[in-house]
Amino acid sequence: MSGVQVYYSALMQGLHLTADCHQCQCDPRWLEDADLLGQACLDAVRRAGLQPVNQVFHVFPPTPRGPGGVTAAILLAESHLCVHTWPELAAVTLDVYVCNFGADHDAQAQALSDALIALLQPADLRRAVMRRG
Amino acid sequence: MSGVQVYYSALMQGLHLTADCHQCQCDPRWLEDADLLGQACLDAVRRAGLQPVNQVFHVFPPTPRGPGGVTAAILLAESHLCVHTWPELAAVTLDVYVCNFGADHDAQAQALSDALIALLQPADLRRAVMRRG
């Protein structure tokens, strides 16, 4: 069975980075405008050397506290990027998940996460790293 | 500052469940047919009591080893479900992320994850639980 273990571990091994961003100091438009945020995410994906294959952006309706949040999910050849925003809290969660199928994408995942955090400028940031597969 | 902490923690607190499924014993079509898998995911989301708001399904091209994999991302009012399949490995990764904004969705997230694992029938399963926010 150890042969099987090595076989699928090597192919399915991946890295999942999360970043829970609080007190974002960026322009509030980044948390409210799905097209603006989505395009920035696509640009960041490409600049990090990852390959977008499809995407969906969604805007939630306004609440009594202000504009609704945005979700951007970008499907990658390497797995996915998901971004959720809460404008009323100046908060955003990021998920960058890459599978290292065919190549090691750890550095690209880290670069993508770092780029989005730099855009959002959270004063309080909680990151986690998970090995997948 | 402790008051601020309590404020945003209560609103942004969430649960992220991952399941890395190996040696799936289900019909291989579930890992190859994006519409079939996507519809099953949507049904499972609704049965779990969560609210889909948008989705994107993507099929990867076939490889010399067989049919390509599928990614299904379903955006939820409560956050997201992402599913990636590797038919050639009989492997699937699941991400169920719910934010407990307005209500506690932990039980629904667990039910959704359990339902998809029951569908896929992995002989080898690696689960993780992450608190977010």
Residues of B in contact with A8 (CB under 8 A): 22, 89, 91
Query: Per-residue pLDDT tens for B65-107?
Result: 899 999 999 999 999 999 999 999 999 999 999 998 778 999 9
Q: Per-domain residue ranges for chain A? A: 2-132
Q: A2-132 domain in CATH 3.60.90.10? A: yes
Q: Look up the ipTM and state it.
A: 0.91
Q: Whole-model pTM above 0.90?
A: yes
Residue by residue, DSSP assigns B33-93 as -HHHHHHHHHHHHHHTT--EEEEEEEEPPPBTTBS--EEEEEEETTEEEEEEEEGGGTEEE
CB contact under 8 A, A12 and B18: no
Residue A122: Cβ within 10 Å count: 20
Query: Per-residue pLDDT tens for A61-118?
Result: 998 889 999 999 999 999 999 999 999 999 999 999 999 877 899 999 999 999 999 9
Bridge partners, A22 (sequence order):
A124
Residue that has been written with the tokens 């969705």 in this structure: B105
CA distance B31 to chain A (A): 15
pLDDT band of B12, cuts 50, 70, 90:
confident
- Edge-first strand order for the sheet with A122-132 is A52-59, A70-76, A79-86, A91-99, A14-24, A122-132
Q: Which residues in B have their CB inside 8 Å of a CB on A?
A: 8, 11-12, 14, 16, 18, 20, 22, 53-56, 58, 60, 71, 73, 75, 77, 79-80, 82, 84, 86, 89, 91, 93, 95, 97, 99, 101, 126, 128, 130, 132-133
